[in-house]
Structure 1
Amino acid sequence: MRYLAVLLLSSTLLACTTTQGTNTSMRASNGVTVESLPEADKLTYQMGVDYIGRGEYQVANEKLMSLVKKYPNFSELYVMLGLGQERQGKKSDALALYSKAISINPMDRMAIKHYAMLQCNAYDKAAPENLARIAENAPTELKAGMNSAAAACYLVHKNAIKGNEYADRGIAANPNYADTYYFKAIAANELRHFNDVFSALDRYHDAYGYEPDSVYLGLNAAKKARNQAEISKYERVIAMNQGQ
């Protein structure tokens, strides 16, 4: 049960992306997005993604690599190439591809999450400190994402104090990197700093809208704080979603 619990927590914190698509705000990199591709190249890209989902990694790699020369600044392309390598157990190759995506687009949250998941082994006690060192040595444009990753890793390792600290560092580095507010909210909830939970979730929801995990986090914190206004807000969100 402990093994399953750690995997679920890691998944919630660090692996909120799949091969089925990405949020527009995380895809833009020098103007290259899936939507901006010509139809033929868009089809090739989607075929590559689909082959990853089916476990046909060699075909997937061929499809995606055929686009690299045409779109060298398409960060999502490198994320998908990395995902194919990761699923084959090729950690070093996957990390290099995720790093390439991040260097192209430091705001690519999908690349950062996949990179962080590989770096943050739930059973390696040194993993959070390793990510913290990466964050501290990162160039300015990467500090928000790397501090966010360190915050998430500390939370996976049940250290809410450090998680809160590195979330604050991420926010200070770039208050527009919205993922950090989710980790701030988780840490603040653990520390029973409920007003910080509500303000952090408001910033996160402004960027990405209401998501099931964040909504139930907000409702849980509101109930513990006995904050009726926040309870009512989140109950309305849940009711609206159930009615759809």
Structure 2
Amino acid sequence: RIQPNDEDIWINLGVAYEGLGKYEDAIVAYQKAIGIRPNYEKAWFNLGVNYEWLDKYEEAIIAYQKAIEIKPGYENAWINLGVVYKGLGKYNDAITAYQKAIEINPNFEQAWANLGVTYDDLGKYEDAIVAYQRAIEIRPNYEKAWVNLGVVYKSLGKYDDAIAAYQKAIGIKPDFEQAWINLGVTYDDLNNYEEAIVAYQKAIEFNSANKELLLDIGWLYFIQGKSQSAKPYFEQSIELSHSQMNLGHVYLTEGDAQKAMEFYQQSLHNIEDKAEFFEGFQSDFPYLEKQGINREAFDEIVTQLKQQSVNDELPD
């Protein structure tokens, strides 16, 4: 039975509700604890956390600020306050909060990493690099900081440094899907398609449901003239309208114009923005031309598809 004047029991009850995902009930419990002991910084902190989970950011800010008012050296409250500020787009306030957390605990790697993310969002890439490097210096196996460092390097066009950072993250956590994807994107940007494919395939090993990635692998094969290697990837992601278009390309290069048209029509039907469809379709011609498709035949397909688009918009 709950003792009504025991703040610790109310705190424990709040934690139990949190574990069950009952955040509103947790809030009530923490408020009870605060009612008994108004300067209970842990209760204010927990209250802020639960407000965050309910997307009640202004209430979360008030709760974290109250926790900090009671205990100015409360580093976790400072970092959480920074997270809320950043989520609201208040980047300078977020930076100040993270810096306060770091001032309290210079080895607080999460605060350094969060500071790096905020600087990155502001385009302050050199500052972001310094922050991520500091986080990594404190915790060398901090795989997320390595990935984020790679993202900044890529933004600066430092592709070799980006690749090294992503590889470092993968060395720490071999099943880090996002690191493999980022590595693949970087290789793709360098036109190193085979390395990009290998990286994307590794990412697929850890998340076979990533249809966009299957589409990307297929496309990298296709633009190299490897239609047969591309085909199964488009088939596995056929629910995507661009995979439907690309599968049409494969059939066209195989000489099956009728089958190609079926997939083109399917893609056209599923892409709401018809201008986007035709822009993408036209931009693909150079890759088709390299695989033996002449301009006249291609333009005839475009004409037929445009006519279908007009017909589809006519009232029944």
Q: TM-score higher than 0.5 here?
A: yes
Partners of 1:210 and 1:78 lie apart in 2 by 37
Structure 2 counterpart of 1:24: none
* CA positional deviation for 1:212: 6.2
Counterpart check, 1:155 vs 2:163: no
Does the 8 Å CA contact 1:184/1:200 hold for their aligned counterparts?
yes
Q: Which moved more, 1:83-92 or 1:219-228?
A: 219-228
Provide the rounded CA distance (Å) in 1 between the counterparts of 2:200 and 2:27: 34
Larger relative contact order (CA 8 Å, sep ≥ 6)? 1
User: Partners in 2 of 1:225 and 1:128 — Cα distance?
Assistant: 36
Deviation, 1:150, is: 0.9
Note if 1:194 corresponds to 2:193.
yes
Q: Which residue of 2 aligns with 1:126?
A: 126
Deviations 1:22-76 (A, max 9, x none): xxxxxxxxxx9x9843533499867534435xxxx3213457899xxxxxxxx9x
Aligned to 2:254: none
**Counterpart position of 2:176:** 177
Higher-helix-fraction structure: 2
Q: How many residues align?
A: 193
Following TM superposition, by how much is the alpha carbon of 1:208 offset from its aligned partner in structure 2, in angstroms? 3.8
Question: Which 5+ residue runs of structure 2 have no aligned equivalent?
Answer: 1-14, 29-46, 67-75, 245-316
Could you list the runs of 5+ residues in structure 1 that have no partner in the other structure?
1-31, 67-74
Q: Aligned-pair distance for 1:147?
A: 1.4
RMSD between aligned residues: 4.5
Partners of 1:193 and 1:124 lie apart in 2 by 28
Point out 4+ residue stretches in structure 1 off by more than 6 angstroms: 42-46, 63-66, 77-80, 96-100
Counterpart amino acid of residue 193 in structure 2: F
Using the size of structure 2 for normalisation, the TM-score is 0.46
CA distance in 1, matches of 2:206, 2:80: 23
1:37 matched to 2:41: no
The 5 A counterparts of 1:7-46 are: 36-39=19-22, 40-41=25-26
The 2-side partners of 1:98 and 1:195 are apart by 44
User: How much identity, in percent, do the aligned residues show?
Assistant: 8
Return the match for 1:51 from 38, 55, 63.
55
The match for 1:88 is: 90
- 1:208-223 to structure 2, matched below 5 A, reads 208-211=207-210, 214-223=213-222
Report the AA paired with residue 171 of structure 2: A
Measured against aligned partners, the alpha-carbon deviations of 1:161-219 in whole angstroms (never above 9, x if no partner) come to 22112112222233233321111111111222222222222232333444465445434
Q: Is the 8 A contact 1:48 1:63 kept in 2?
A: no
Distance in 1 (alpha carbons) for counterparts of 2:231 and 2:100: 44
Give the greater-gyration-radius structure (CA). 2
Give the Å deviation of 1:151.
0.8
User: Do 1:147 and 1:166's aligned partners in 2 also have CA atoms closer than 8 Å?
Assistant: yes
- Equivalent pair of 1:182/1:204 in contact (CA under 8 Å): yes
Q: What's the counterpart of residue 234 of structure 2? A: 235
Distance in 2 between residues matched to 1:211 and 1:38, nearest whole Å: 28
Using structure 1 for the length normalisation, give the TM-score: 0.57
State which drifts further: 221-230 or 155-164: 221-230
Shift of 1:229: 5.0
